[in-house]
Amino acid sequence: MSVGATPDRFQAADVDGAHHREDNYLLASSGLGSWLVTLDHKRIGVMYLIGIMASFFLGGIFALVLRAELFTGQKLFLSEDAYNQMFTLHGAVMTFLFIIPSIPAALGNFMLPIMLGQKDVAFPRMNLASFYLWIIGAVFFLCAIVFGGLDTGWTFYTPYSITTSTRVILALLGVFVLGFSSIFTGLNFVVTINTMRPHGMSWFKMPLFLWALYATSIIQLLATPVLGITGLLLIAERALRIGIFDPELGGDPVLFQHFFWFYSHPAVYIMILPAMGIVSELVAVFSRKHIFGYRFIAYSSIAIALLGFLVWGHHMFVSGQSQLAAVVFSGLTFSVSIPSAIKVFNWLSTMYKGSISLATPMCYALSFIFLFTIGGLTGLFLGALSTDIQLHDTYFVVAHFHYVMMGGTLVAFVGGLYYWWPKMFGVMYNENAGRLFCLIVFLGFNLTFFPQFIMGSRGMPRRYARYVEEFQIYHQLSTMGAFLLGIGMVGAIAVLIYSLYRGKKAPANPWGAATLEWMCSSPPSLHNFEEPPAVGDPYNYDNLRYDEREGGYVVVPGAAKKTSSH
Amino acid sequence: MNLLSTLSLLAEAGSLFFTPSNSVFAPEVDNLFDLIYWISAFFFVLIVAVMVYFVVMYRRRPGHSVQPSPSHNNVLEITWSVLPSFLLVLIFVMGFTGYMNIRTPPDDAYEIHVYAKKWSWLFQYPNGAESSDLHIPVGRPVRFILESEDVIHNMFVPAFRTKMDCVPGRYNEIWVLADHSTGTGIKDEDHEPTWLFCAEYCGRDHSNMKAKVFVHETGDFDAWVAKAANLYEGRTMAEVGELLYKRKGCISCHSIDGTRKSGPSFKGGFGTAHKMADGSEVVMDENYIRESIRDPRAKVVAGYEPVMPVFPSSRLSDKDITAISEFIKSLK
Ligand code: HEM
Ligand SMILES: [Cu+2]
């Protein structure tokens, strides 16, 4: 029977409704084949997880090679050409293959239907198609790497990208296909959230992670087509010389930058919004406090999604765009910082008077708040026109976006992975090891990227294979940090993988969370729920109590329907 | 450079985040940077302190339990959304005024043309002098007109606190007024120049596309630029010819090692006979070279397209042509 195809969603799995452990989705059917054609959102989520983690480690290896080469400032083992390819591939793999799909496609896919108390997304086949598009896109990328590489930077600026002899067209086709994958996921999520919220879950009873995914999906739907078209135009320019972007043919290279950033700045919010959603869940659960300012957080996600479309010009302050444009874009850029700041204040207020557990996911959430605050505040230096002129295209920018994308999105992603791991695989990991590697990641991260703020403001340009001696000390600190960070990341993932073999069996609700995914067994059965779960306030923990025998939280009998009054 | 000497250097320089500046608008940029820095430091310390305090105060422990507190408060939330906006407006306005200074050159500025190409810089001065490092006078506004011959480059001088893209097919401009010289005298060794970097990725040697910036005392600059315009002083004719061969672009079509490009190679060409497109034979001598430069279509070597541009005397003087002939003659 094909999963998700039957309309009666809560058909009992067995005749008598009895539920065996073997019903869990991991064991429901076996063999590689049963995974490859599955329509189960959970299995698709797991396959995505494997794919993006592989991409992350590939991109991570590129990063460590880059950092190693930069240890001295002279040639160590990479020629200039090899270095340029390396940073391009690092950026392109991390952005297109890893960070954009990471949270929505892996964790979102797995959790979204369960958090709605449903058994699948609205269009399970489209979901599977989206995964295969991701694979095809990744294959195009790998082909580009194998057959001649790519050296344009992940931004593909013209006219360089028109003249280089590397595999621009292959990579752009990859981006194009990945774009469709992203659009499919976004469309699926929008429809699922719009039409499949259960009885009793009004918009403002929805978990904030779903608000974040909803806002993200809107950006994916509206912005990604622009990237696709830009890619096609660039392919046409290279292959047919039509004269849109190439100055030799009367085209305008700055036009390309407008097109490119019109997608790629909103893409930054595709990366960060779901991360903020995860942190909202974590902070509430591990403080056992109702999230503070629910509506403000929800609205700020939408505000960020919409304002995110109006600020792309801040990447082009020194491209020679008109001074008026620069001023307008600078002003709009600052408007995005307000909703981001609101969220930070709300998270802190949520912790007030709570009962804060420093479980591993919460450690990642705290780490996120620390790092994202630095990332966001350093955005102020870049949004202000006169300081941006000095900082543009220096290591200051590199540090800024790594604090936001890696310190923010990646850290939240790992936190979310630790949070949902017991649900996804039915096992508990070693808490102390989890926290230790979280700390190593945190220290390694700061050692890697903080020195980059300093060297950047002192004038070290980005995308440099060689540099002058005065920057050496900062590069050396940064390189040492990178290797520490690498150890931390490998360790963090190893802890999770080890738990698959040796972990204790997870209870249904180990953290005492009130969102619906914790109401089904760990791991969930094929159809998630036997009967529709009772919908309550997703942040009311009053009616949950720790149960020794279960090793997790259970609903206080008779209190299931209670919702918080506020 | 080791850690200790760096730290002591930084202590002398005064700030971790700045490199010494050399332009009149740098202090304004640095002040805004400082202001944002302190605002950020304030909020960062506040946020982290509150976070750590809460974690310690309210950590989960036996006997501790959640205390009731409201889960929203409109007054509070509106306050902390609106108040920071005032700071943001302040930062925005200061950034804007600083920017207008950086982007608005005075009318009487001295003009230098900047040609960026993979992977070198060429600076051209009003009297015709050219250099691959940048030389400017102190205390006098200088306007740069930026062009690129191939892909996008970016002229970035950290000490000036300014940068601007060089975009093929359009002119961009920036300006600077340096407030102190980098040394006295016109020889490079007498200076401690600062760096000029290419800040827009442009291919293989992007990170090697840098130049030095020399800021001269006023009298020194006039002497330097006069000397730079006079290529002939201190060079043999053949050496000048070689410089011209590179700078004026002959190099892009004529090799000196026998390789065939869009024009014939100069190697061993002098004094030998060449077959022309119309069937005649011409011996390459000074007169033939001069004619080929001034009127390239008059005699075209067999097997080549007539693509060479005309060089009028405004671009190559007769003396220059003599130097080029000497150079070609030297290529045996
Ligand atoms: C919310 C999460 C954010 C993310 C994920 C993010 C990410 C990025 C990335 C990837 C870049 C580099 C693009 C490149 O040149 O390759 C960048 C640059 C920039 N960011 Fe952000 N950013 C975020 C927040 C902010 C905020 C809050 C501000 C301003 C208040 C800001 C202002 C800027 C500016 C002005 C640039 C261009 C800097 C330059 O190239 O000179 N960003 N950001
Ligand atoms: Cu460059």
Ligand nearest to the CA of residue B199, numbered in listed order: 2
- For CATH 1.20.210.10, the residue range(s) in chain A are 43-288
Residue A392 beta carbon below 6 angstroms from any ligand 1 atom: yes
Bridge partners, residue B214, by sequence: B135
Is B9's pLDDT higher than 60?
Answer: no
Spatial separation of the C-alpha atoms in residues B145 and A67, rounded to whole Å: 36
When pLDDT is averaged across residues A438-445 and rounded to a whole number, the result is 97
Spatial separation of the C-alpha atoms in residues A348 and B52, rounded to whole Å: 10
CB pairs under 8 A between A and B: 260
CATH number at A43-288: 1.20.210.10
What is the predicted ipTM?
0.91
How far is A400 from chain B, CA to nearest CA, in Å?
A: 13
The percentage of chain A sitting over the pLDDT mark of 90, rounded to a whole number, equals 76
Residue A361 beta carbon below 6 angstroms from any ligand 1 atom: no
Bridge partners, residue B212, by sequence: B195
Considering only residues A439 and A32, tell me which one the structure prediction assigns the higher pLDDT. Answer: A439
Cβ(B178)–Cβ(B217) under 8 Å?
no
Cβ-based burial of A126 (10 A; exposed 0-12, middle 13-18, buried ≥19)? middle
How far is A359 from chain B, CA to nearest CA, in Å?
A: 10
Between positions 220 and 279 of B, the ones with CB within 8 A of A are none
When pLDDT is averaged across residues B197-226 and rounded to a whole number, the result is 93
- Looking at residue A2, its pLDDT comes to 38
The DSSP output letter for A554 is E
Is A500's pLDDT higher than 80?
Answer: yes
Amino acid occupying residue A336: V
Ligand nearest to the CA of residue A318, numbered in listed order: 1
Q: Which of A400, A403, A460 to mutate to test the pocket of ligand 1 (most atoms within 8 A of CB)?
A: A400
Residue A333 beta carbon below 6 angstroms from any ligand 1 atom: yes
Residue A274 beta carbon below 6 angstroms from any ligand 1 atom: no
What is the β-pairing status of strands B130-131 and B120-124?
antiparallel
Residue A391 beta carbon below 6 angstroms from any ligand 1 atom: yes
Convert the pLDDT of each residue in A198-253 to its tens digit: 988 999 999 999 999 999 999 999 999 999 999 999 999 999 988 899 888 888 99
Convert the pLDDT of each residue in B272-301 to its tens digit: 888 888 888 888 888 899 998 988 888 888
**Does the beta-carbon distance from A345 to B39 stay under 8 Å?**
no
In this complex, the residue of A292, A355, A392 whose CB is nearest that of residue B65 is A355
SS in 3 state form for chain B? CCHHHHHHHHHHHCCCCCCCCCCCCHHHHHHHHHHHHHHHHHHHHHHHHHHHHHHHHCECCCCCCCCCCCCCCHHHHHHHHHHHHHHHHHHHHHHHHHHHHHHCCCCCCEEEEEEEECCEEEEECCCCCEECCEEEECCCCEEEEEEECCCCEEEEEHHHCEEEEECCCCCEEEEECCCCCCECCCCHHHECCEEEEECCCCCCCHHHCEEEEEEECHHHHHHHHHHHHCCCCCCCHHHHHHHHHHHCCHHHCCCCCCCCCCCCCCCCCCCCEEEECCCCEEECCHHHHHHHHHCCCCCCECCCCCCCCCCCCCCCCHHHHHHHHHHHHCCC
How far is A109 from chain B, CA to nearest CA, in Å?
A: 29
Q: A318, A475, A545, A563: best mutation site toward chain B, by most B Cβ within 10 Å?
A: A318
The percentage of chain A sitting over the pLDDT mark of 70, rounded to a whole number, equals 95
Confidence category of residue A22, pLDDT binned at 50, 70, 90: low
Q: Which residues of A touch B37 (CB under 8 A)?
A: 381
Give backbone dihedrals phi and psi of A246, rounded to 5 degrees, phi first: -95, 115
Bridge partners, residue B115, by sequence: B122, B147
Confidence category of residue B1, pLDDT binned at 50, 70, 90: very low
3-class secondary-structure state, position A49 = helix
What tokens appear for B124 in the block? 């051209």
Spatial separation of the C-alpha atoms in residues A169 and A239, rounded to whole Å: 9
Residue A406 beta carbon below 6 angstroms from any ligand 1 atom: no
Bridge partners, residue B173, by sequence: B145
Ligand 1 center–CA A401 separation, angstroms: 6
